[in-house]
Amino acid sequence: MNIASTDLLQLDSSSAVPSLRIAGAWTLHNYARLEQQLASLALPIAPSQAIDLQQLEALDTAGAALLVKLLGNSRSRQLSEQLDVLPAARRALLATVSAALEQIPGAAPPAKQHGLNLWLEQLGRGMEGFGQQLLALLGFIGLILATLARTLLQPSRWRVTALFAQVQQTGLNAAPIVALLTFLVGAVVAFLGATVLSRFGASIYTVMLVAFSFLREFGVLLTAILLAGRTASAFTAQIGSMKANEEIDAIRTLGLNPIELLVLPRVLALLISLPLLTFVAMLSGIFGGALVCTLTLDISPALFLSILHDVPLKHFLVGMAKAPLFAFLIAAIGCLEGFKVSGSAASVGAHTTSSVVQSIFVVILLDAAAALFCMEMGW
């Protein structure tokens, strides 16, 4: 008798029809040996291959799974139905394992990815993420408004000290950089206006250009962008650090409301600071333009003020009306991103960056929408 392999899996070629003899204990203890032997065979074996199970000593679930892998599902079911091949317990085990393995779907071949498909997939994921962030922001805004309405009726719960501290940080400390930036931008706008309008002999209209641009757009827009980078990032870093150190959980454990304790003072402080800083930005930008007009266009300060007096008040009101809306959204986005921090320093940095990007994007988007709306309304 010619026998190949080991005592667990034998190929008997002595007879006219070579048979594969299953012997020994097909159990978890011998699982590694059985896998090595099966690796050298083409699985499953051919349906015409003769099988001898008379010397099978033991069979458990692990061995039955390998036996199904060797024989195939259809042949394993056939063996489990033959009463004279295996004992009843082993036939039942083999049938159960074969049925369970049939329900496991095979691995689908990887789909070919094309450049257009990948781009569309990334676009879809981006739109899905944008929608989720928008829903989260709307829900957080609703939570802020509900908490604010509930707190306004209870003066004992007002956080006056925290409010004035945040006003100092977000408003008073930001005034110098806002004034300097808008002064320089006002000077640049006046230079550009003088350069272009002088070709048409209309240099005097540089005053109107500076006034219109800063009263309607540049004053509030530059201030909001500055605070989006300066204040929204600070809000996210502060609340995110507290979240990472589990201080937010401690606040909830003490029975306090984190929205009332941390978010409302920051939102209200920015609602106070941004309109005031917008007014400072308007004055600084117009002053920068007036200085350039005086030095380069021979427009005296008295003449500059006389022309400025003719600018309609509605331009100032349109610019100031945007400030509270921008302030509320910047504060809400900064605080929301802080609450999203997962607990690591990398998460704090990622959400801080995200809060700045989102705040600037929302500010510019709403400013463009407001400009189109006011233009259509004739304001």
Share of residues in the chain with pLDDT > 90 (%): 21
Phi, psi of 50 (to 5 degrees): -75, 145
* Residue 113 scores a pLDDT above 90: no
As a whole number, mean pLDDT of residues 311-332 equals: 90
pLDDT of residue 328: 94
Residue-averaged pLDDT of the chain: 83
pLDDT of residue 5: 44
What number does CATH give the domain 3-102?
3.30.750
Write the CB contacts of 124 (distance below 8 Å, at least 6 apart in sequence): none
pLDDT of residue 272: 92
Categorise residue 280: left if φ over 0, alpha if ψ from -120 to 50, beta otherwise.
Answer: alpha
pLDDT of residue 59: 81
* Residue 377 scores a pLDDT above 60: yes
Q: Which of 19-28, 203-212, 277-286, 331-340 has the lowest mean pLDDT?
A: 19-28
Question: Would you place residue 1 in the very low, low, confident or very high pLDDT band (cuts 50, 70, 90)?
Answer: very low
Q: How far apart are CA 289 and CA 209, in angstroms?
A: 9
Among all chains, which residue has been given the structure tokens 């986005």? 333
As a whole number, mean pLDDT of residues 288-317 equals: 86
pLDDT of residue 48: 67
DSSP codes of every residue in 305-352? HHHHTTS-HHHHHHHHHHHHHHHHHHHHHHHHHHHT--SSHHHHHHHH
Question: Would you place residue 185 in the very low, low, confident or very high pLDDT band (cuts 50, 70, 90)?
Answer: very high
Buried b (16+ CB within 10 A) or exposed e, 26-38: bbeebeeebeebb
Highest mean pLDDT among 12-16, 44-48, 245-249, 327-331: 327-331
Tell me the pTM: 0.67
pLDDT of residue 17: 57
Domain boundary assignment for the chain: 3-102, 127-377
For the stretch 187-231, pLDDT in tens is 999 888 888 877 777 778 888 888 888 988 889 999 999 999 889
* Residue 93 scores a pLDDT above 50: yes
As a whole number, mean pLDDT of residues 1-25 equals: 61
As a whole number, mean pLDDT of residues 44-65 equals: 76
Higher per-residue confidence, 82 vs 300: 300
Q: Which of 12-16, 19-23, 152-156 has the lowest mean pLDDT?
A: 12-16
CA distances from 52 to 2, 157, 301, 363 (A): 15, 84, 110, 78
* Residue 3 scores a pLDDT above 60: no
Q: Classify residue 49 by its DSSP letter.
A: S
